[in-house]
Amino acid sequence: MTGHHGWGYGQNDGPSQWHKLYPIAQGDRQSPINIVSSQAVYSPSLKPLELSYEACTSLSIANNGHSVQVEFNDSDDRTGK
C-alpha cells in the first residue's frame, strides 16, 4: 500500500505548516464547531454514549499516506446512541 501526502508531523510538514496547504487549518485549535471550553456546561441528564455494530466485510483497505482508509458496503447500517 502506497500513497502520497502533503502533510505530516515533521518540521517541514507538521501542524505549524498545515495552513499553507489548507488555509482553513490555521488556528490554535481545530474543530468543525466552536467549542469554548470555559463556557461548557455539564448536564447530568446526558446518558453515556453507547455504540453498537454488526460485523461486516470491508470492500477495500488503502493507505492514504496519513492513515488507513477502509471502504465498507453502504448498505450496512451503523447506529450510535
Distance CA 71, CA 61 (A): 6
- Interacting residues of 54 by C-beta distance below 8 A, sequence separation 6+: 76
Q: ∠59-62-64 over CA atoms, to 5°?
A: 145
Q: Which of 4, 5, 19, 66 is catalytic?
A: 66
DSSP state letter for 32 = S
Alpha-carbon span 37 to 33, nearest angstrom: 12
pLDDT of 22 reads 80
**69: number of Cβ within 10 Å:** 13
pLDDT tens profile 28-80: 766 656 778 899 999 999 999 888 777 777 678 888 888 888 887 766 566 65
Active site residue 66: yes
